[in-house]
């Protein structure tokens, strides 16, 4: 019984949990409900910050989030509501004596804008800030680590702007606890077995891996698309993702304003979700003109039923 | 009766109301309760922003403040928790098509840090941002308009830092409604009479001003002192002010830490208030280490009874 408990415990501890925490999903002007754009994505035990609008560090403190596993910030474009929180976050990390490198992936001018601020405000920095530029016009692999690959998604906005596609690295196989107990497999062998090895007992008997495990779920994928006008070519790039965050700055009746400002309507966001056959859509980046979001939700759900509203300080598991 | 009503109405409309709105009174690290430093001061119908930490514009929107009468921002020093909100506020003002000039009073390097950000983020600015440098080491008049004179208060902090003393311009005399009614003074003459003129009736009879008015209250004064170590020489500069905001980053038992970091304890803030014989003290700029502020308040009140706690999004009339 203890063995089984341990096995279940081990499985629980090693199971990947994917979590999106919306820190802010307002647009250019903050409102009573919404801070500017920022999201903390957790995939396979690592944290990634996507956009860093003003107040990002405040939301983190309000939610009492621990960000020890945050190594990378991805900035979609250089409008203030997507990047003005970066310098505050960096100086606070310095005050808290962070030592791990911090990688910032952003369009090229960001480094030039940030460097004088960092030099002035952060003396004796206890960690390195490393800038990586990416091309907002191409679909490219811009980051890869043990947990995910991250691709840029070219968007259509007033300034160079990209979305991001996070693709989980292939997973280990799932252990079958009852079979592990039945064959009395020692815990020390679990990792190898998860990675596909057969087990050889002390008396030389081989237990094939497929008796002890089942295949892993396909890699989880998350796509972040803000800010952008509706563009059909996005559909193939986010095809079938588990979770799509797509901006819905405007209601459908304000479509001409959306077109003019290179933003999307709720219906357009949902059309991308429908055409790309995604599993779930979260809308956000709401214009400050809408007090209630129920109309935006209704308009999106009329096109793609599995739509939910993005809300500040809400956690979405997927 | 109508005349009396009109007179009272007129007096109500022209009475100056002084109001301090604390947008944030946390210190370097924001907390669940506190944003970084920022206060909106209203004196004699004008608005002045004092410090502009990250999230200042967010607090303004949360409180649904209208800032049409805000023409001047005063930045005490260039630590991020006192100035990182400035660029966000400026870009939002631009988006909202503000046209009035915005004056920023700050230590000299601020202009150099802000200019590239403004140039990059604000194309076709509909208003001018005008920087004014002041010397943080001297007590000097740094701004004067129809409503107030503003003086810099040299403080003792790790970087050049000044407090601010706002002194209301001498007020008009108070009208005596019953006497105005008795002498049947036309409303058109009220302004002149408030400013000290006698009244001459149609038949040439002179009614002396002192029959129609009483002397005005002395000019109201507000002092803002953050960030600073305890320094006795502040006492004479803020002598007798109506309202003093003084930082109390630390509790008394953490005095050595306060000294080390050039901040004050609650008891030290109250000692300044006591020695300067101020009317009321508000403490703030609390270190993130204190969840409850009741101990800080008790320590300050033990020295100076008329102390109140600064709280985010609270309005203090004086």
- ipTM for this prediction: 0.88
Q: What is the CATH number of the domain that holds A269?
A: 3.60.15.10
- Enclosing H/E stretch for B96: none
Q: Are residues A284 and A268 part of one domain?
A: yes
Q: How far is CA A59 from CA A29, A36, A126, in A?
A: 16, 11, 23
How many domains is chain A partitioned into structurally? Answer: 2
Least CB–CB distance from A55: residue in B31, B54, B109: B54
Q: Are residues A167 and A155 part of one domain?
A: yes
Q: Are residues A163 and A114 part of one domain?
A: yes
Could you report the per-residue pLDDT of B38-50, keeping only the tens digit for each? 999 999 999 999 9
Sheet holding B129-133, edge to edge: B129-133, B102-106, B70-74, B46-52, B38-43, B19-24, B314-317
In sequence order, the 6+-apart residues with CB closer than 8 A to the CB of B123 are none
Considering the entire predicted model, what is its pTM? 0.89
Instruction: Please say whether the dihedral angle defined by the alpha carbons of residues A254, A255, A256 and A259, taken in this order, is positive or negative.
Output: positive
CA dihedral B157, B159, A73, A269 (to 10 degrees): 80
Q: Are residues A307 and A248 part of one domain?
A: yes
Average pLDDT over chain B, rounded to whole? 94
Q: Are residues A203 and A74 part of one domain?
A: no
Nearest CA in chain A to B24: A58
CA distance A135 to A161: 9
As to burial, measured by CB atoms within 10 angstroms (0-12 exposed, 13-18 middle, 19+ buried), residue B97 is: exposed
Q: Are residues A203 and A66 part of one domain?
A: no
In sequence order, the 6+-apart residues with CB closer than 8 A to the CB of B253 are none
pLDDT band at residue B15 under the 50/70/90 scheme = very low
Instruction: Decide which of A214, A240, A270 is a domain's last residue.
Output: A214
Indicate whether B194 belongs to any domain.
Answer: yes
Q: Are residues A227 and A159 part of one domain?
A: yes
Could you report the per-residue pLDDT of B84-123, keeping only the tens digit for each? 999 999 999 999 999 999 999 999 999 999 999 999 999 8
CA distance B4 to A231: 67
CA distance A127 to A131: 13
Q: Does B84 contact A80 at a Cβ distance shorter than 8 Å?
A: no
Query: Which residues, given as ranges, of chain A have pLDDT below 70?
Result: 1-16
Residue A165 pairs in a beta bridge with: A151, A223
Provide the pLDDT for residue B123: 87
pLDDT band at residue B136 under the 50/70/90 scheme = very high
Using the predicted structure, report yes or no on whether residue B1 has a pLDDT greater than 80.
Answer: no
Q: Does B61 contact A30 at a Cβ distance shorter than 8 Å?
A: yes
Q: Give chain B's end-to-end CA distance (angstroms, integer).
A: 31
Indicate whether B188 belongs to any domain.
Answer: yes
Q: How far is CA B67 from CA B47, B89, B133, in A?
A: 7, 11, 23
Least CB–CB distance from A120: residue in B55, B87, B109: B109
Cβ–Cβ < 8 Å for A269, A281: yes
- Enclosing H/E stretch for B222: strand B221-225
Cα three-residue angle B230-B231-B234, rounded to 5 degrees: 120
CA distance B216 to B213: 9
Told to judge if A252 belongs to the known catalytic residues of this protein, a careful annotator would answer: no
Indicate whether B287 belongs to any domain.
Answer: no
Q: Are residues A180 and A210 part of one domain?
A: yes
Question: Which is higher by pLDDT, B123 or B236?
Answer: B236
Q: Provide the shortest C-alpha distance from residue A59 to chain B (in Å).
A: 8
Q: Are residues A99 and A26 part of one domain?
A: yes
In sequence order, the 6+-apart residues with CB closer than 8 A to the CB of B270 are B248, B281, B283, B299, B300, B301, B302, B303, B304, B307
CA distance A267 to A253: 10
Q: Provide the shortest C-alpha distance from residue B280 to chain A (in Å).
A: 30
Q: Does A54 contact B85 at a Cβ distance shorter than 8 Å?
A: yes
Indicate whether B209 belongs to any domain.
Answer: yes
Q: Provide the shortest C-alpha distance from residue B246 to chain A (in Å).
A: 23
Mean pLDDT of B241-258: 98
Cβ of A78 under 8 Å from any chain B Cβ? yes
Could you report the per-residue pLDDT of A86-108, keeping only the tens digit for each? 999 999 999 999 999 999 999 99
Provide the pLDDT for residue A123: 87
Cβ of B92 under 8 Å from any chain A Cβ? yes
Report the length, in residues, of chain A.
318
Cβ–Cβ < 8 Å for A94, A63: no
Q: Are residues A94 and A75 part of one domain?
A: yes
Domain range for residue B189?
174-214
Indicate whether B180 belongs to any domain.
Answer: yes
Q: Are residues A268 and A131 part of one domain?
A: yes
- Pick the closest to residue A285 from A223, A227, A244, A224 (CA basis): A227
B210-219: b or e for each residue (b if 16 or more CB lie within 10 Å)? Answer: eebbeeeeeb
Q: Are residues A181 and A68 part of one domain?
A: no
> What does residue B115 show for φ and ψ, rounded to 5 degrees?
-55, -50
Token pair in block for residue A174: 């799932």
Mean pLDDT of B239-244: 98
CA distance A102 to A87: 12
Cβ of A116 under 8 Å from any chain B Cβ? yes
Indicate whether B185 belongs to any domain.
Answer: yes
In sequence order, the 6+-apart residues with CB closer than 8 A to the CB of B154 are B136, B137, B138, B139, B162, B233
């Amino acid at each position: 019984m203890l063995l089984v408990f341990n096995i279940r415990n081990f499985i629980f501890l090693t199971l990947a949990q994917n979590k999106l925490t919306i820190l802010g999903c307002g647009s250019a002007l903050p409102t009573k409900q919404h801070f500017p754009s920022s999201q903390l994505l957790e995939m396979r035990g690592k944290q990634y910050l996507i956009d860093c609008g003003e107040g990002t560090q405040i939301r983190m403190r309000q939610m009492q989030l621990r960000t020890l596993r945050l190594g990378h910030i991805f900035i979609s474009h250089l409008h203030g509501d997507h990047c003005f929180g970066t310098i505050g976050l960096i100086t606070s990390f310095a005050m808290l004596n962070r030592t791990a490198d911090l990688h910032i992936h952003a369009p090229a001018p960001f480094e030039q804008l940030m460097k004088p601020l960092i030099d002035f405000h952060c003396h004796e920095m206890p960690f390195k800030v490393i800038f990586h530029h990416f091309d907002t016009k191409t679909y490219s692999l811009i980051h890869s680590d043990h947990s995910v690959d991250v691709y840029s998604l070219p968007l259509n906005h007033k300034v160079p702007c990209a979305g991001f596609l996070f693709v989980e690295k292939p997973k280990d196989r799932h252990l079958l606890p009852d079979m592990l107990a039945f064959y009395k497999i020692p815990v020390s062998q679990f990792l190898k077995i998860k990675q596909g090895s057969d087990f050889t007992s002390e008396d030389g008997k081989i237990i094939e891996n497929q008796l002890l495990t089942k295949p892993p779920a396909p890699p989880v994928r998350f796509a972040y698309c803000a800010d952008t006008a509706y563009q059909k070519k996005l559909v193939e790039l986010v095809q079938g993702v588990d979770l799509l965050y797509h901006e819905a700055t405007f209601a459908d009746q304000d479509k001409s304003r959306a077109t003019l400002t290179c933003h999307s309507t709720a219906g357009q966001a949902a059309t991308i979700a429908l055409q790309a056959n995604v599993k779930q859509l979260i809308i956000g980046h709401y214009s400050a003109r809408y007090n209630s979001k129920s109309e935006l939700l209704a308009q999106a759900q009329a096109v793609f039923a599995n739509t939910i509203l993005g809300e500040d300080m809400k956690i979405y598991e997927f």
